[in-house]
Chains A and B, each alone.
Chain A
Amino acid sequence: MINARIHVRFKSGVLDPQGTAVKGALKQLGFENVVDVRVGKLIEVKLNVEDEKDAKDEIKSMCEKLLANPVIEDYSFELSV
């Protein structure tokens, strides 16, 4: 069994409305050092696969087909057993 933690976030250059709102709230709370906030998604997938290479290929395909929208989002993931 392999666990994948997939991060999906807006591409740099794509304005993130949630990130902008959270940034405003943090500033208002006095966190003056905040320069930028991006809000993304964390998706955890359990895979019934033994080989790490196979898992990598499968997760990549999932991201490209469904989990991320390449027009506005980037993804990255890490695998663990």
Chain B
Amino acid sequence: MKCAVIMFPGSNCDIDCYHVLSEVMGQPTEYVFHKEKFSPGDFDLIVLPGGFSYGDYLRAGAIARFSPAMDSVLKAAEAGRLIIGICNGFQILLEAKLLPGAMKVNKDLKFHCHDVFLRVDNVETPFTGLYKKGEVIRLPIAHGAGNYYADAQTIEKLEAENRIVFRYCDRSGNVSDAANPNGSVKNIAGIINKQGNILGMMPHPERASEDILGSVDGKRLFKSILRCIEGRTTIYGR
């Protein structure tokens, strides 16, 4: 599985993502600088990492969305390549309109940096195949603007199409206001596009992929992706 991690000015989880993909997962991984372009066929997986691209000026992700590398990401998205946006990467995907909705600052205006529990609501995606439906996992969040918003019509559509992949919940899996760290509509922590190749999520799976970090719940996400890509290779002989 060939992986790319896009580096925007102000990205700060790029090295973590690179480390997990190359060292923990053992996959060939490259950094792509925000000024670089690439072809849709160059990578099986493209990661938009967390951080504060362009200082989060104007709105989180608003300026990164116009980087030259994002033109290539848009083309890869169209070609059906797998793309995951984590934290700031999710915000960039929203600004690029690859996923619907927008992020506002957290409801309590605080930067939230702690572990959360998530319920995995859709396991029929390339990113979540190795989780169990309804399973509760623990991943860290670290964001000031993770308050997901979309209008009622969009939310209805996301729910009807089973595109809400992760929701904030308590340790028993109850999706409640008390378990919602940022005010997101319907406790949304991660959504996928209709075609099923683009996932955006606020929590950080790359920070929970090694025992030494206290949780390996995130590693299964990368394993799921690998399984999907390798599976395709056997099916299509690519």
What residues make up the interface of A, taking CB atoms closer than 8 Å to B?
A: 10, 14-18, 21, 66-67, 69, 71-72
Interface: B109 (CB within 8 A): yes
Residue numbers in A under 8 Å from B101 (CB-CB): 71
Cα A10 to Cα B105 in complex, Å, equals: 12
What residues make up the interface of B, taking CB atoms closer than 8 Å to A?
A: 58-59, 62-63, 66, 94-95, 100-102, 104-109, 147, 149-151, 183
Cα A54 to Cα B62 in complex, Å, equals: 25
Residue numbers in A under 8 Å from B58 (CB-CB): 66-67
Contact indicator A72/B149 (Cβ below 8 Å): yes
Most A Cβ at <10 Å: residue of B109, B147, B149: B149
Cα A66 to Cα B59 in complex, Å, equals: 9
Nearest A residue (CB) for B95? A69
Least Cβ–Cβ distance between A40 and chain B, in angstroms: 12
A-B contact list, 14 entries, CB within 8 Å: A14-B104, A15-B104, A17-B105, A17-B108, A17-B109, A17-B183, A21-B109, A66-B62, A66-B63, A66-B66, A71-B94, A71-B102, A71-B149, A72-B149
Contact indicator B95/A17 (Cβ below 8 Å): no
Residue numbers in B under 8 Å from A14 (CB-CB): 104, 149
Cα A10 to Cα B149 in complex, Å, equals: 12
Partner of B107, one of A17, A66, A69: A17
Contact indicator A18/B149 (Cβ below 8 Å): no
Partner of B105, one of A18, A67, A71: A18
Given A67-B58, A69-B59, A17:B147 Cβ within 8 A: yes
Given A17-B104, A17-B183, A66-B58, A71:B109 Cβ within 8 A: no
Residue numbers in B under 8 Å from A18 (CB-CB): 105, 109
Residue numbers in B under 8 Å from A69 (CB-CB): 59, 62, 95, 102
Nearest A residue (CB) for B150? A71
Least Cβ–Cβ distance between B21 and chain A, in angstroms: 31
Cα A17 to Cα B59 in complex, Å, equals: 14
Contact indicator B109/A72 (Cβ below 8 Å): no
Cα A21 to Cα B65 in complex, Å, equals: 29
Least Cβ–Cβ distance between A56 and chain B, in angstroms: 21
